[in-house]
Protein backbone atom coordinates (compact mmCIF):
# COMPACT_ATOMS: atom_id res chain seq x y z
CA UNK A 1 0.00 0.00 0.00
CA UNK A 2 1.28 3.45 -0.91
CA UNK A 3 1.77 5.94 1.90
CA UNK A 4 -0.51 8.95 2.01
CA UNK A 5 0.59 12.42 0.92
CA UNK A 6 2.38 14.31 3.71
CA UNK A 7 0.86 17.66 2.70
CA UNK A 8 -2.80 17.02 1.99
CA UNK A 9 -3.18 13.56 3.54
CA UNK A 10 -6.10 12.70 1.24
CA UNK A 11 -4.42 11.05 -1.76
CA UNK A 12 -1.84 8.32 -2.20
CA UNK A 13 1.76 9.53 -2.48
CA UNK A 14 3.42 8.91 -5.83
CA UNK A 15 6.75 10.76 -5.41
CA UNK A 16 9.20 12.00 -2.81
CA UNK A 17 10.46 15.56 -2.61
CA UNK A 18 12.99 17.38 -0.46
CA UNK A 19 11.49 19.88 1.99
CA UNK A 20 12.67 22.02 4.90
CA UNK A 21 11.05 21.31 8.26
CA UNK A 22 12.33 22.83 11.45
CA UNK A 23 15.52 23.96 9.74
CA UNK A 24 16.36 20.46 8.52
CA UNK A 25 16.08 18.95 5.05
CA UNK A 26 13.69 15.98 5.02
CA UNK A 27 12.07 13.88 2.31
CA UNK A 28 8.30 14.02 2.16
CA UNK A 29 5.92 11.78 0.24
CA UNK A 30 3.69 13.75 -2.13
CA UNK A 31 0.76 13.07 -4.41
CA UNK A 32 0.80 14.32 -8.01
CA UNK A 33 -1.25 17.45 -7.26
CA UNK A 34 0.93 18.59 -4.32
CA UNK A 35 4.13 17.81 -6.24
CA UNK A 36 2.93 19.86 -9.21
CA UNK A 37 2.19 22.89 -7.03
CA UNK A 38 5.63 22.61 -5.42
CA UNK A 39 7.29 22.34 -8.83
CA UNK A 40 5.43 25.43 -9.99
CA UNK A 41 6.61 27.42 -6.96
CA UNK A 42 10.21 26.33 -7.57
CA UNK A 43 9.94 27.32 -11.23
CA UNK A 44 8.69 30.80 -10.29
CA UNK A 45 11.55 31.22 -7.83
CA UNK A 46 14.12 30.03 -10.38
CA UNK A 47 12.66 32.38 -13.00
CA UNK A 48 12.87 35.32 -10.63
CA UNK A 49 16.49 34.49 -9.83
CA UNK A 50 17.32 34.27 -13.54
CA UNK A 51 15.63 37.61 -14.18
CA UNK A 52 17.61 39.22 -11.35
CA UNK A 53 20.86 37.82 -12.77
CA UNK A 54 19.95 39.17 -16.21
CA UNK A 55 19.19 42.61 -14.76
CA UNK A 56 22.52 42.61 -12.92
CA UNK A 57 24.31 41.73 -16.16
CA UNK A 58 22.56 44.48 -18.10
CA UNK A 59 23.38 46.95 -15.34
CA UNK A 60 27.04 45.93 -15.40
CA UNK A 61 27.20 46.40 -19.18
CA UNK A 62 25.53 49.82 -18.93
CA UNK A 63 27.92 50.87 -16.16
CA UNK A 64 30.95 49.69 -18.12
CA UNK A 65 29.90 51.43 -21.32
CA UNK A 66 29.20 54.64 -19.45
CA UNK A 67 32.54 54.44 -17.70
CA UNK A 68 34.34 53.84 -21.01
CA UNK A 69 32.67 56.88 -22.56
CA UNK A 70 33.85 59.21 -19.75
CA UNK A 71 37.24 60.88 -20.29
CA UNK A 72 39.97 59.03 -18.49
CA UNK A 73 42.26 60.85 -16.09
CA UNK A 74 45.80 60.56 -17.37
CA UNK A 75 48.98 60.52 -15.34
CA UNK A 76 49.87 63.96 -16.73
CA UNK A 77 46.70 65.54 -15.38
CA UNK A 78 47.34 64.09 -11.93
CA UNK A 79 51.03 65.00 -11.73
CA UNK A 80 52.05 67.79 -9.30
CA UNK A 81 53.95 69.60 -12.08
CA UNK A 82 50.73 70.71 -13.77
CA UNK A 83 50.05 74.43 -13.26
CA UNK A 84 46.76 75.23 -11.69
CA UNK A 85 45.01 78.52 -12.03
CA UNK A 86 45.45 80.63 -8.94
CA UNK A 87 42.82 82.91 -7.50
CA UNK A 88 44.42 85.90 -9.17
CA UNK A 89 43.91 84.22 -12.55
CA UNK A 90 40.18 83.76 -11.99
CA UNK A 91 37.61 85.38 -14.17
CA UNK A 92 35.88 88.52 -13.06
CA UNK A 93 32.37 89.34 -13.91
pLDDT of residue 41: 85
Q: Which of 1-15, 37-51, 75-89 has the highest mean pLDDT?
A: 37-51
CATH class of 1-69: alpha beta
Q: Which residues pair with 18 in a beta bridge?
A: 27
Phi, psi of 88 (to 5 degrees): -70, -20
Sequence spans of domains, the chain: 1-69
Segment 64-80, tens digit of pLDDT: 888 877 666 655 555 55
pTM value?
Answer: 0.50
Q: Are 29 and 13 in contact (CB under 8 A)?
A: yes
User: Sorting pLDDT into bands at 50, 70 and 90, what band is 52?
Assistant: very high
Q: If we measure between CA atoms, which residue out of 47, 43, 45, 35 comes closest to residue 6? A: 35
Q: Give the integer Cα–Cα distance in Å for 2 and 12.
A: 6
Q: Of all residues in the chain, what percent carry a pLDDT higher than 70? A: 73
Amino acid sequence: MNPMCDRCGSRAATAKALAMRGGQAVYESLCDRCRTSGDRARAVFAGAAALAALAAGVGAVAYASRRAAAPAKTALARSPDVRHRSQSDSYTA
